[in-house]
């Protein structure tokens, strides 16, 4: 005889609700496991909600702001052997520089000046697409790229390549790279963003949010961003 707790649990699963706990018998386990497995096979199930990813990121930024771990204290002593790759080479260059960079990064997470945290743009379907050869992006460099589906700017700072969206967060105008100041200018309302995405100056009533970050990696001598596939 199937118990009520089990039936209710499965019905909750099917409706997408949080299943209510019950005192499960050992004989229920196989059915529960199969119900979960079948439910997880429903198309689209394994993709997290955009809001969840953003909210958890904010929560972590707040919680980690009071821990010294992501600051300077433990880095020096625990620096371990490094492998290959540009990011690592730069990190190994000077412990002092690494500490400074990490501290700054830690502070900017809270972004007290704008109250916004930059979100990472994660397309539902995407590919790692090359935006520059690694050698074309020396430390300090910034390059514009246009993948058709996403245009943006990739830069390398302290050895690490990162990319941001190239559309102004105010009304979507396409940003221009000012190579002399290493900044991104909005042609519409004279808003200026740092290449890292933070708004620097603007003449709007409210500070626009930072530019969305794009997932960026380096593989086989290429800088790649995770972007939707090219339209056919």
Partner 1 sequence: MADEVYPDWEAVYRDNIDRMYRLMFAKVGNRPDAEDLTAEVFVAVLRPLRVSASVGEVRAYLLATARTVLAEYWRRTLGKEVTTLDEEHIETVFADPPAPSNAPRRTAAILSALPDQYRRILELRFLDSCSVREAAAELGVSVANAKVLQHRALRRAAQIAQEVDQ
Which residues within the stretch 138-177 sit at the binding site for partner 1 (CB under 8 A)?
158, 160
Beta bridge partners of 223: 132, 218
Q: Which of 33, 107, 174, 189 binds partner 1 (CB under 8 A)?
A: 33
Could you give the string, one character per residue 190-209, with x where binding to partner 1 holds by CB under 8 A and - elsewhere? --------------------
Nearest to 168 by CA among 141, 182, 188: 188
From the CA atom positions of the chain, what is the Rg in Å? 23
Q: How many CB atoms lie within 10 A of CB 214?
A: 27
CB of 125 to partner 1, least distance (A): 11
Cα torsion angle, 164, 167, 168, 174, sign: positive
Number of residues that bind partner 1 (CB under 8 A): 75
CB of 100 to partner 1, least distance (A): 13
Span near partner 1 by CB under 8 A; candidates 40-48, 142-150, 171-179, 194-202? 40-48
Instruction: Rank residues 158 and 198 by Cβ distance to partner 1 and give the closer one.
Output: 158
The answer to whether residue 78 forms part of the interface with partner 1 (CB under 8 A) is yes
- Distances in Å between the Cα of 93 and the Cα atoms of 125, 159, 162 are 37, 10, 19
Q: How many CB atoms lie within 10 A of CB 184?
A: 28
Q: How many CB atoms lie within 10 A of CB 2?
A: 10
Instruction: Rank residues 83 and 112 by Cβ distance to partner 1 and give the closer one.
Output: 83
Strands across the sheet with 127-133, in order? 127-133, 222-227, 216-219
How many angstroms separate the CA atoms of 162 and 211, rounded? Answer: 12
CB of 15 to partner 1, least distance (A): 9
The answer to whether residue 69 forms part of the interface with partner 1 (CB under 8 A) is yes
Span near partner 1 by CB under 8 A; candidates 73-81, 148-156, 165-173, 202-210? 73-81
Q: How many CB atoms lie within 10 A of CB 170?
A: 17
Residues 83-122 interacting with partner 1 (rule: CB under 8 A)? 83-85, 87-88, 91, 101-102, 105-106, 109, 120, 122
How many angstroms separate the CA atoms of 77 and 148, rounded? Answer: 45
Q: Which of 41, 115, 205, 206 binds partner 1 (CB under 8 A)?
A: 41
Look up residue 230 and give its two tokens: 């090219």
Span near partner 1 by CB under 8 A; candidates 49-57, 137-145, 186-194, 200-208? 49-57
Span near partner 1 by CB under 8 A; candidates 78-86, 142-150, 179-187, 200-208? 78-86
The answer to whether residue 53 forms part of the interface with partner 1 (CB under 8 A) is yes
């Amino acid at each position: 005889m199937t118990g009520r707790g089990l039936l209710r649990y499965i019905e909750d699963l099917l409706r997408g609700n949080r299943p209510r706990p019950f005192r499960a018998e050992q004989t229920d386990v196989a059915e529960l496991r199969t119900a979960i497995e079948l439910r997880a096979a429903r198309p689209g199930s394994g993709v997290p909600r955009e809001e969840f990813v953003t909210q958890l990121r904010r929560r972590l930024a707040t919680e980690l702001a009071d821990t010294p771990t992501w600051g300077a204290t433990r880095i020096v002593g625990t620096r371990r052997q490094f492998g290959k790759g540009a990011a690592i080479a730069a990190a190994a260059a000077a412990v002092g520089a690494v500490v400074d960079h990490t501290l700054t990064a830690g502070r900017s997470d809270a972004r007290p000046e704008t109250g916004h945290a930059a979100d990472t743009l994660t397309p539902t379907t995407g590919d790692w697409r090359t935006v520059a050869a690694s050698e074309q992006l020396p430390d300090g460099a910034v390059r514009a790229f246009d993948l058709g589906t996403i245009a943006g700017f990739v830069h390398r700072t302290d050895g690490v390549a990162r990319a941001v969206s190239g559309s102004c967060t105010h009304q979507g105008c396409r940003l221009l790279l000012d190579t002399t100041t290493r900044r991104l200018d909005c042609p519409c309302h004279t808003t200026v963003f740092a290449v890292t995405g933070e708004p620097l100056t603007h003449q709007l009533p409210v500070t626009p949010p930072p530019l969305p970050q794009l997932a960026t990696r380096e593989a086989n001598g290429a800088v790649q961003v995770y972007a939707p596939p090219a339209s056919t």
